[in-house]
Amino acid sequence: MKKTLLSLAFGLIIASSSFSQNITINLSGTSNNISGQTHLYDLASSVNNYHLVDFLYNNESQTGQPWIITRRIVNEPAGWSNYFCWGVNGLVGNCYQAVSDEYFDSGLITVPSMEAGLVSTYVSAPSAGTATYRYYVSTDGVTFLDSVDLQVVSTVGIAEVAPSLTVNIVPNPASDYVKVTAEGVNDATVTIMDVLGNLITTSKIIGSKTIDVSEYRNGIYFVIVESKGVKTVNRKVIIRH
């Protein structure tokens, strides 16, 4: 799973610009302030109650701060769910069960001066899709001081459909010509070989191509149609004059 940071602007309701300067948010284990940004998390398989990332809400003021975390579901695929835990970093926090409400408030905890509160995020993602969760911090669950977004992208069950090559050759047996039709690809190469493996002719084909076989000896020939990224098709043709 890869984890990258992508800065996106979104609206924050700021109670006091001077106070918000005393809050920074960073991903646990890093020091970059990601306040007002979005952290991207990629999932390559379906998960259940899966621990994603931890966010640290740093109290850089000179006094302890009573903080509440409000989780907002910005968007979430059907069948997904999420929950989070909130507490002072280094201590046992409280975990809140998954609820489908757009906004959900944690309990209030006091984060001491120059310490951090820890938000641990979890998700159940049984299908492919993209979810965005926003984690606000406030003192009352109403006037938001700062926030960070978590965007979760799951690609489970999404597979690129590979092109397939369909080949039709008429007439067969043939005496004067054969018409080779290649469907499902933009272009292909058609090669004709005899039963001993000798190359008779090769040419490009777009859609269909008529090949003169009036001078070919009677016998069995192999028509090989190839195109990049698809399985080669081999067909047997009988030439009879």
pLDDT digit of tens for each residue in the chain (241 aa)? 433 333 333 333 334 443 455 999 999 999 999 999 999 999 988 999 999 999 999 999 999 999 999 999 999 999 999 999 999 999 988 999 999 999 999 999 999 999 999 999 999 999 999 999 999 999 999 999 999 999 999 987 655 555 788 999 999 999 999 999 999 888 899 999 998 889 999 999 999 999 999 999 999 999 999 998 888 899 999 999 9
Same domain (yes/no): 105, 128 = yes
- Whether residues 100 and 179 share a domain: the answer is no
**Are 12 and 91 within one domain?**
yes
Q: What is the CATH number of the domain that holds 62?
A: 2.60.40.3670
Domain with 182 in it = 166-239
Within-domain flag for 160 = no
For the chain, how many structural domains are there in total? 2
Is residue 159 included in any domain, yes or no? no
Q: Are 120 and 173 in the same domain?
A: no
Question: The CATH number of the domain where 222 resides is what?
Answer: 2.60.40.3080
Residue 146 sits in the same domain as residue 232? no
Tell whether 161 is covered by a domain: no
Given 98, 123, 154, which residue is the final one in a domain?
A: 154
DSSP the chain: --EEEE--------S-HHHHTTEEEEETT-----TT-EEEEEESS-EEEEEEEEEEEEE-SSS-EEEEEEEEEEE--TT-EEEEEEEETTS--EEE-----SEEE---EEEPTT-EEEEEEEEEE-SSEEEEEEEEEESSSSSEEEEEEEEEEE-TT--------EEEEESSSBSSEEEEEEESSS-EEEEEEETT--EEEEEEESSEEEEE-TTSPSEEEEEEEE-TTS--EEEEEEE--
Same domain (yes/no): 11, 123: yes
